[in-house]
A and B are shown apart, each in its own frame.
Chain A
């Protein structure tokens, strides 16, 4: 079995109102020097496959087709 973590984040240049709000809240809580906050999603997956190369390809496909909206989002795959 292969475990993987997919991280989906907004592309640079896409406005992230939630990130902005979090940034503001951090500032008002006294955390100084926070330049930018971008929020995203994390998916933890377990695959039956035993072949890491194949798994990575499969996950990339999942990202393209469902997990990320590539109009606005980037994704990164990490095998654990």
Chain B
């Protein structure tokens, strides 16, 4: 399956993401610059991490309003798989493609460390290679990962199994509500997550727990 990576000024984990997709699928992803209004036909569109537009108004806020995001919205509606990691998650939320908001970490500090994630929903196209309840390792690196949703939205998310990853075993690094680390849209084709699975996919990273997510999303033969 083919993938694309969005490029916006200020994103900085684009190279990590391109390396991960290339390594796992054997084929480099297409890159799409922010001013494009069309995205080529691909099966997976990834918005990588970073500080798009410096995160200057709110993280992801300006990026979410760039022309390319209209194209992402259309693709999302058409059922294309969309993955937003870290700033990508923030952009998806700001664009209204995922519910909730990402606020400043409760510690008020940037945090970069490895956490544990519980796979809460293993029935998505992104998490099918994990088992429900699996605990996986994954690094985080962010300043604004404190997920928030209003009570009604939160209830709906939980009721409909839209919470895909939770920080496990007391490793919540940011004060996120219900320990939420990643959520999927109702249709199940748009996933946003704060942790960085692309930074844990080979021996040099000290582990490969992130690999299964990309392998599932790209339907790489196991």
Complex Cα spacing A18 to B103, Å: 10
Least CB distance, B67 to chain A, in whole angstroms = 15
Judge whether A15 and B148 touch: CB under 8 Å.
yes
Instruction: Please judge, given known A-B contacts A65-B65, A67-B57, A69-B58, whether A17 and B104 are in contact too, CB under 8 Å.
Output: yes
Instruction: Give which listed residue, B62, B94, B149, B175, contacts A17 with CB less than 8 A.
Output: B175
Instruction: Encode A61-79 as 1/0 by CB contact (under 8 A) with B.
Output: 0000111010110000000
Q: Any chain A CB within 8 A of the CB of B150?
A: yes
For the complex, count residues of A whose C-beta is within 8 A of B. 11
Instruction: Encode A2-40 as 1/0 by CB contact (under 8 A) with B.
Output: 000000000000110110010000000000000000000
Instruction: Encode B82-120 as 1/0 by CB contact (under 8 A) with A.
Output: 000000000001100001110111111000000000000
Q: Any chain A CB within 8 A of the CB of B5?
A: no
Q: Any chain A CB within 8 A of the CB of B61?
A: yes
Q: Chain B interface mostly helix, strand, loop or mixed?
A: loop
- Which residues from chain A contact B99 at a C-beta distance below 8 Å? 71
Judge whether B108 and A18 touch: CB under 8 Å.
yes
- Which residues from chain B contact A21 at a C-beta distance below 8 Å? 108
Interface centre among A15, A65, A67 (most CB of B within 10 A): A15
Complex Cα spacing A67 to B94, Å: 11
The tally of CB-CB contacts under 8 A between chains A and B is 37
Judge whether B146 and A17 touch: CB under 8 Å.
yes
Instruction: Encode B49-74 as 1/0 by CB contact (under 8 A) with A.
Output: 00000000110011001000000000
Instruction: Give which listed residue, B61, B105, B149, B175, contacts A69 with CB less than 8 A.
Output: B61
Instruction: Please judge, given known A-B contacts A14-B148, A71-B100, A72-B148, whether A66 and B65 are in contact too, CB under 8 Å.
Output: yes
Least CB distance, B64 to chain A, in whole angstroms = 9
Judge whether A71 and B146 touch: CB under 8 Å.
no
Complex Cα spacing A65 to B105, Å: 24
Instruction: Please judge, given known A-B contacts A14-B148, A17-B175, A21-B108, whether A71 and B61 are in contact too, CB under 8 Å.
Output: no
- Which residues from chain A contact B105 at a C-beta distance below 8 Å? 17
Least CB distance, B84 to chain A, in whole angstroms = 16
Least CB distance, B54 to chain A, in whole angstroms = 15
Judge whether A69 and B148 touch: CB under 8 Å.
no
Complex Cα spacing A67 to B58, Å: 9
Least CB distance, A69 to chain B, in whole angstroms = 6
Instruction: Encode A33-64 as 1/0 by CB contact (under 8 A) with B.
Output: 00000000000000000000000000000000
Complex Cα spacing A65 to B61, Å: 10
Query: In the complex, which residue of chain A has the Cβ closest to the Cβ of B175?
Result: A17
Residue positions of A touching B, CB distance < 8 A:
14-15, 17-18, 21, 65-67, 69, 71-72
